[in-house]
Amino acid sequence: MFDIEIIILSGGFGKRLQPLTKDLPKSMVPVNGRPMLDYHLKWLSKYDIDKMVLACGYKWEEIKKHYGSKFVYSVEEEPLGTGGAIKQALDSIEGEEFFVVNTDDISDANLNGLKKAGSNAIALSRFHSNFGIVDVKGDRVVKFEQKPLLPYWASMGLYILNKSIKSKLPDKGAIETETFPEIELKAYKHAGYWITINTVKDLEDLEEAIKNGEVRL
């Protein structure tokens, strides 16, 4: 076990989840009657958490009203993007290494495994196509596979980073496009559950999986 400082990115508007985000930040949208953030808290409860910094903006007061002092709040006066949000939140991080997770990326990833991958590592997952895949020869369909597992790895929106990365973070912009291409990254391949919640359909799929016992979060 080890002490953990983690930044939870929670500043997005959640436009694709409207009307659910009309009066709530995305992180407070209910999943089976519980705020999305609750699933992160349950996941993190198995670790020794030293500090949770919530990088927030849109309707952040709703989060504080519900969770009070459970988080250190890093409030964006304007949207800063993932890179800018992390850079600002780093003012509240004391150690040399810290974790980052997107609020809308829910998984059962093992933080011990991610830490063993080393500083500046990202969690990756294989993923299924959202569409049926067709193999065609000439004008004939020779194979149809419904939503197959693709031979690629997707970023899970979960990282362990070294504080020295701060100098490479933009004041405003995305870490994925402005910082990661400039540094050496290690990979942690996760074999368990992961879903990113961008739309109402994603939310419904997660709720159905929880109800059916396919996912235990």
Domain annotation covers residue 133: no
Can you spell out the DSSP letters for 54-97? EEE-TTHHHHHHHHGGGSEEEE-SS--HHHHHHHHHGGG--SSE
Nearest partner of 202 among 124, 52, 102, judged by Cα: 102
Domain annotation covers residue 196: yes
3-state SS assignment for residue 77 = coil
Structure confidence at residue 2 (pLDDT): 54
Taking only the tens place, the pLDDT of each residue in 1-43 is 456 899 999 988 878 888 888 889 999 999 888 999 999 999 9
β-partners of residue 155 are: 124
Domain annotation covers residue 46: yes
Structure confidence at residue 125 (pLDDT): 93
Average pLDDT over the chain, rounded to whole?
A: 90
Decide if pLDDT at 185 tops 80: yes
Structure confidence at residue 52 (pLDDT): 94
Domain annotation covers residue 148: no
∠ CA 17-29-37, nearest 5°, is: 125
Decide: 178 and 170 in contact? Cβ < 8 Å.
yes
More confident residue, 2 or 77: 77
3-state SS assignment for residue 148 = coil
Number of structural domains found in the chain = 1
For the chain, give the percent of residues with pLDDT over 70.
97
**CATH (domain of 36):** 3.90.550.10
Domain annotation covers residue 109: yes
Find the domain containing 92 and state its range.
3-124+153-211
Structure confidence at residue 117 (pLDDT): 93
Domain annotation covers residue 143: no
**36-45, 94-103, 200-209 — which is least confidently predicted?**
200-209
d(CA 193, CA 202): 14
Structure tokens at 175: 């870490």
Structure confidence at residue 209 (pLDDT): 81
Decide if pLDDT at 147 tops 90: no
Decide if pLDDT at 217 tops 70: no
Domain annotation covers residue 129: no
Structure confidence at residue 127 (pLDDT): 81
Domain annotation covers residue 69: yes
